[in-house]
Amino acid sequence: MKRKLMLLLACLFVGIGLVTAQTQKVTGVVISEEDGQPVIGASVLVKGTQIGAITNVDGDFTLLNVPSSAKTLQISYIGMQTQEVAIKPNLKVVLKPDTEVLDEVVVTGYGTFKKSSFTGSASNVTTEKLQDLPSISVQDRLAGFVAGVQITSTSGQPGSVASVRIRGMGSINASNEPLYVIDGVPMLNGNVSEFTYADSGNSLMATLNSNDIESMTVIKDAAAASLYGSRAANGVIVITTKKGSAGKTKIGVRADWGMSNMAIDYRPILDGKQRREILHLGFENYAKYTLGYDAEQAAALANKNIDEYAAEPWSGYTDWKDVLFRNGSHQNYEVNAQGGNEKTRFYTSFAYTKQEGITNVSGYERFTGRANVTHQTDKVLLEANAMYTNSTQNVNNEGTSFASPIMCYAMTASPSTYPYNEDGSFSSNFPALNGANPIQTETYNYNRATINRFLGSMAATWTIWDNLKLKEAISYDFNQNNERIWWDPRSNDGRSSNGVYQRVMGNRGQLNTQTQLSYNKSFGLHNLDALVGFETEDYKYDYLYANGNQYPSYLPEIENAGDSRASSHVERYRMTSFLGRINYDYNNKYYFSASYRRDGSSRLSRESRWGDFWSVSGSWRLSEEAFMQDIKHVLTDAKLRVSYGVNGTQPTDLYGYLGVYEFGYNYAGNGGSAEARFDNPNMKWEKNYATNVGLDVTLWNRLSITAEWYNRDTKDLLMSKNISAVPGVINSSGGATMLMNVGSMRNRGVEFEIKSTNIQNKDWYWSTSLNFGHNKNTLLKLDGEQNEMIDGIAIHRIGEAYQSFYAYEYAGVDPETGSEMFYINGEDGSRETTIHSNEANKVIIGSPDPKLTGGLTNFVSWKFIDLNFTLTYSLGGHAYDAATWLQSNGGTYNYVGNVPAYYKIEDTWKQPGDNAKLPLFAYGNKNTVSSRWMMPTDHLRLKNLTIGFTLPSNLSKKAGISKLRAYISGNNLLTWKSKDLYVDPENPVDGLCYFETPALRTITFGIELGF
């Protein structure tokens, strides 16, 4: 027995020895030849196996259990030349920069190209340095980074819809938003809210976790956009999400917390004492200049009436800004993991985000999860991406709603009103609100929406032979929006109906399929890349609305209502597409590209259903010519690009071409219908004809400059043209109109981008990016009959910007009467003035379109400290204060509501001969729409700022972690603007300002861990 035991132990030791002898440990460091810095995140693989590692913050790597038979390591990193080295126990690997790989990558959704070979106009934004931003909006990641892209928002409420314009507006009745493509799949976007009580809307883009995004490419011209055909007239934003990398599984944890307030001093008002003083003066002026009283009589009248409008309440003058607003909060928690081997790689994340807005009820809460997996076999690449989001948005009313806290603060809830009576009950002393107490309203009422969204895609790419590949992809984008609005019987909104409950359930689904056959081949100096494809898109919207009132209690469900009603409808559209693309280059000098797409849409009649979209483009890489080689050390790269193409826009109305009957009419007490629209078989695609000329230059391999000129003519614009109502075809709005392709518009401009690496050595790194864009919008044609259309303060006139402000031109204050003066602007061009507006002619006074927009970004790092900030700016645009109730120089609303802070009593006209800044302030005055209320939107904004501190790796290793970083980040921190602009400079795209929630200034503190 003892002998057998000894033999067993001997065999065990021999076995262990054999195992030990068959494996080895390999350690090493990877550094950059250019600056001697460690290369962090380089992939180190044992060739012929799945054994690998990723270099840490010191560039170190360790490989265990490497087979003794293994001979070679393969080391790779983006921007470096891949190297293969012989295996040794301890290695030092120096990676050389790869100028071809360093070239910026352009992802178009139909292929990925190096920018040096790309013939179109596109800008790439990596999100690595933007992941700390405390913003829910994906579009905020683009602000200030791309020339020619203007981003605005109608509201600062969390989860609100942002508006993105790429090279101006291109449509009147259809959408002006770009197409969003995520991982090659067109996605649903826009506002999913069915109710309009809040200007904020509910953005589908807010359902994305920005930190899952690897990069975004903005496609601006037709060279690449035409492959998207009818969806690409306003540009394309291609989003690429993070994918896993081979090697040890890496886990990241991130958390941040912070607070928010108003980014600007929004619509400042006079306090209670100041308001009382100017209202008292208004009564005196009314008595003297309207009733003819002397000074003593005027003072007596003012003393008699002032307490009715400006008395100090029992609690003291109310600061409604303090009552209706709060400091918002921000918190975010995220965990992600990625890893894999040479064949299978994965990335997955889960995040929770919560933002409370600056008004007492606004907020946004979101859960997101994502999983991306790729698997490579010998012939087939499999890809699967899935995202799920659950979000809940609470909003307050905005605009001119009496329940809007913004409007209450700025106009209707004066310092002489108060939220609570002395006994603690809600006050009803609100003359401008018919007794509606804003605090009581927000206590009992709510407007809440929940979105569940799933976005999934699967793709298989089969390499048939010799670079001939077949790709099949299918995706499904589904979201369910559940909105609930409750007007409590105890609030003014619900009192007359004894409570009102509204509910909408909307289901949107879009199924997209893609088939692509691609081939690329090099024949000596000739390089060819071709693609043909077939796509389908199937969209369905299922809507259910229910309404209840007459509630015996305060329980808001439809079944509890004494009276209820409901409605529903279903919408669908389909599109089928054929497409093709060919890229050719000779000797990396001369490039040519052509694309063609044919779309068939169910939104148009059979006679007009199919649209053809195409582009041609070419470029000449001057730097590769022999005559440029002597200066190649200075002029590293230079390329001239030209493109021309056609893309289009389909109608917004899914059934606009159909002649229809509308139901829901009351006919003699019975349900009825009426013909509401003629057949419109000639309605067709709107089309964009886009020309782009660009020059790309790289100097000293560290300074890149891009300059572009473009022209975009949009023809066959859809407009609602009035038709005769004699046949009796009148829609439910009481009008007789028909959508016709009759208008045309032009956007023309220049763009400039410069990117530089200022310092790059062992300890320091500093890069800068500057861009600006100028776009001029011109209306070329309306309906063929009219030269202009007037819409309130706006005018649409041929030869001018489509959105132009039209009003009397303000000429200051008449020294003799204190009245507002206006330029007559007669046909003879004279500049005479009058105090009677009906004697003057309205003129175009400005436009919301800025003359110049852009941004400046800097990233600086020193050892373990990093600093990143972006400045955005806009020059030459205007906003118009459309809240005319405030602008009457002492009219009704100034007396029952608030008085804006610009009515300084010392600046007002007092007596004949005064050269005053402000007109006579008097009770009973009327407002006049004039250029006095146009505001410049010129501004410079510190859009984001991040300061980070990373624990040195020798210390973090001791704690058992690969990375520990703490950071402070801010959004909209500082804004420099004109004192005459008292709303946020990033206002609605039409420039008309009412009572929108201003942008948020958010500051957060965060930590980031890596394992």
| pLDDT (average), residues 317-338 | 95
Q: Report the Cα 467 to chain-centroid distance in Å.
A: 38
Q: Which of helix, strand or coil describes residue 922?
A: coil
pLDDT above 50 (res 587)? yes
pLDDT above 80 (res 383)? yes
Cα 637 from Cα 625, distance rounded (Å):
11
The confidence band for 5, taking pLDDT boundaries of 50, 70 and 90, is very low
What's residue 6's pLDDT?
Answer: 47
Cα 8 from Cα 4, distance rounded (Å):
6
Token pair of 804 as six digits: 């132009």
Token pair of 712 as six digits: 């975009």
Q: Report the Cα 102 to chain-centroid distance in Å.
A: 29
What's residue 17's pLDDT?
Answer: 41
The confidence band for 40, taking pLDDT boundaries of 50, 70 and 90, is confident
What's residue 625's pLDDT?
Answer: 87
Taking a C-beta distance cutoff of 8 angstroms, is the pair 1009, 961 a contact?
A: yes
The mean pLDDT of the chain is 89
pLDDT above 70 (res 925)? yes
What's residue 79's pLDDT?
Answer: 62
pLDDT above 90 (res 633)? no
pLDDT above 80 (res 628)? yes
What's residue 11's pLDDT?
Answer: 42
What's residue 19's pLDDT?
Answer: 40
What's residue 35's pLDDT?
Answer: 61
pLDDT above 60 (res 738)? yes
What's residue 392's pLDDT?
Answer: 96
The confidence band for 510, taking pLDDT boundaries of 50, 70 and 90, is very high
What's residue 53's pLDDT?
Answer: 81
What's residue 332's pLDDT?
Answer: 95
Taking a C-beta distance cutoff of 8 angstroms, is the pair 438, 897 a contact?
A: no
Residue among 518, 416, 524 nearest 899 (CA): 416
| pLDDT (average), residues 194-201 | 88
pLDDT: which is higher, 721 or 6: 721
User: Which of 26-35, 146-155, 274-283, 993-1002 comes out lowest in average pLDDT?
Assistant: 26-35
Q: Model confidence over 715-730: pLDDT tens digits?
A: 988 887 766 655 555 5
196: left (phi over 0), alpha (psi -120 to 50) or beta: alpha
What's residue 651's pLDDT?
Answer: 86
The confidence band for 451, taking pLDDT boundaries of 50, 70 and 90, is very high
The confidence band for 667, taking pLDDT boundaries of 50, 70 and 90, is low
| pLDDT (average), residues 745-774 | 92
Cα 977 from Cα 938, distance rounded (Å):
6
pLDDT above 80 (res 671)? no
Beta bridge pairs of residue 368: 351, 389
Q: Model confidence over 384-434: pLDDT tens digits?
A: 999 999 999 999 998 888 889 999 999 999 999 999 999 999 999 999 998
User: Which of 40-44, 174-178, 213-217, 280-284 comes out lowest in average pLDDT?
Assistant: 40-44
The confidence band for 116, taking pLDDT boundaries of 50, 70 and 90, is confident
Sheet with 810-813: strands ordered across: 810-813, 820-823, 833-834
Burial of 703 (0-12, 13-18, 19+ CB in 10 A): middle
What's residue 728's pLDDT?
Answer: 53
Taking a C-beta distance cutoff of 8 angstroms, is the pair 1006, 969 a contact?
A: yes
Beta bridge pairs of residue 919: none
What's residue 126's pLDDT?
Answer: 81
pLDDT above 90 (res 702)? no
What's residue 415's pLDDT?
Answer: 96
> First-to-last CA distance in the chain?
50
Q: What percent of the chain has pLDDT over 70?
A: 94
What's residue 810's pLDDT?
Answer: 96
Taking a C-beta distance cutoff of 8 angstroms, is the pair 44, 27 a contact?
A: no
User: Which of 104-108, 256-260, 906-910 comes out lowest in average pLDDT?
Assistant: 104-108
Helix spans in 637-680 (H): none
Cα 352 from Cα 369, distance rounded (Å):
9
User: Which of 35-44, 117-126, 547-556, 700-709 comes out lowest in average pLDDT?
Assistant: 35-44
Taking a C-beta distance cutoff of 8 angstroms, is the pair 366, 391 a contact?
A: yes
Cα 895 from Cα 286, distance rounded (Å):
13
| pLDDT (average), residues 84-107 | 75
Taking a C-beta distance cutoff of 8 angstroms, is the pair 398, 294 a contact?
A: no
pTM: 0.87
H or E stretch at 295: helix 295-310
What's residue 669's pLDDT?
Answer: 66
| pLDDT (average), residues 585-599 | 92
What's residue 660's pLDDT?
Answer: 76
